[in-house]
Amino acid sequence: MEKLITYIGLDVHKNTIAVAVAEAGLRKEVRDYGTIANTPAALKKLIAKLACTGHELRFCYEAGPCGYGIQRQIAAAGHECIVVAPSLIPKKPGDRVKTDRRDAINLAKLHRAGELTAVWVPDEAHEAIRDLVRARLAAVRTLRKARQQLSGFLLRQGCHYSQKAWTHLHRRWLAGLKFKNPVHYIVLEDCLEAVDAATARRDRLEQHIEAALPGWSLAPVVQALQALRGVAMVAAATLVAELGDITRFTKPNQLMAYLGLVPSENSSGGKRRQGGITKAGNEAARRMLIEAAWSYRFPARISRPHLIRQEKLAKPIRDIAWKAQERLCRRYRKFARAGKLPTVITTAIARELTGFVWAIANQVQLAAA
């Protein structure tokens, strides 16, 4: 006899969880089960109560700021639980009423119909590395903002530096500035202190990332991706931390679409209209790939730091990296001769670079097997 299935939708918030239950069968009822506290004890009690029926339990809830603790607790209890991508939940255009109860009922109903798209759930070690990488990205944003504030202050005072900024020469130039109002010296020193603090924080977090990599299960993928031009330790760690297990994508086109590097489209009838990239998926990983793509505007070559990164890598991985250099450098020059904008060229190169990232990740998996 086939085991009956019960679908449970959870609308998760900081303090509460709204629960809805749907019995198997498209015409079976979907009922509101009530609201529980968002605590491990309350969730454990809910699971035990629902399991008394003897049905197979399948939970779902939206990905959000509460993380994956609920999913891990339910999975540890022996039940299926998916974390749903919020942007891919089907919605009725005319529905203007939104409540926790309705959201939970809708999740249970769509889960029963198989209309929900699950996200990849990292383990606790992977999530810790990702938090560290994201802390470094936050430090970079803080540093950029501090530098912009200093540049804006100097611009208001009519101070212009014509050479490359944020070097030792630039710092000496800043120390030699003269102002009419003594208060401006205090503002300058405060801005410099903010820049120094943000720089130290960024460098400190990069050192922590490098120290944490050897104990990570995906460290071989991080090391292998550094064979690619423009992808050093920080960029490789960010890509792997944000994307997770890259081999879960069966084709490189799926990874490109996941990163939002494919063109949008609005076609109807015999007309086909393509626009800019969709910008769906993970913004941090997409940014890293686009930054790496800028390095392919130069001729294909292996520099000394690049050679050092490749020394301990297997030949198949080095061959993929060199093939990427030859192709992407050639494509960059071709697009430039055609008069394409630099931003358009770089985005196109980043999309093709994604394919080589996928190939290297799969090569690492084959070598490990």
pLDDT digits (tens, 9 = 90+) for 353-369: 999 999 999 999 877 75
HSE on the CB side for 85, CA within 13 Å?
13
* Alpha-carbon torsion (93, 96, 100, 106), positive or negative: negative
pLDDT digits (tens, 9 = 90+) for 303-340: 999 999 999 999 999 999 999 999 999 999 999 999 99
pLDDT digits (tens, 9 = 90+) for 214-260: 999 999 999 999 999 999 999 999 999 999 999 999 999 999 999 99
- Domain presence at residue 153: yes
User: Do 144 and 164 belong to one domain?
Assistant: yes
CA–CA distance, 171 with 233 (Å, rounded to integer): 27
* Contact (Cβ atoms closer than 8 angstroms) between residue 104 and residue 18: yes
User: Do 53 and 185 belong to one domain?
Assistant: no
User: Do 11 and 146 belong to one domain?
Assistant: no
Q: What is the mean pLDDT of residues 149-160?
A: 95
User: Do 223 and 363 belong to one domain?
Assistant: yes
- Domain presence at residue 195: yes
**pTM for the whole thing?**
0.90
pLDDT band, very low/low/confident/very high, at 83 (cuts 50, 70, 90): very high
User: Do 69 and 131 belong to one domain?
Assistant: no
User: Do 249 and 335 belong to one domain?
Assistant: yes
Identify the bridge partners of residue 121 per DSSP, sorted by sequence position: none
Structural domain count, the chain: 3
Six-digit token pair at 76? 């540890």
Name the nearest CA neighbour of 56 among 87, 34, 77.
77
Task: State the amino acid at position 231 in one-letter form.
Answer: V
User: Do 109 and 137 belong to one domain?
Assistant: no
User: Do 197 and 211 belong to one domain?
Assistant: yes
CA–CA distance, 30 with 109 (Å, rounded to integer): 7
CA–CA distance, 47 with 21 (Å, rounded to integer): 12
Domain with 64 in it: 5-113
- Domain presence at residue 119: no
User: Do 142 and 211 belong to one domain?
Assistant: yes
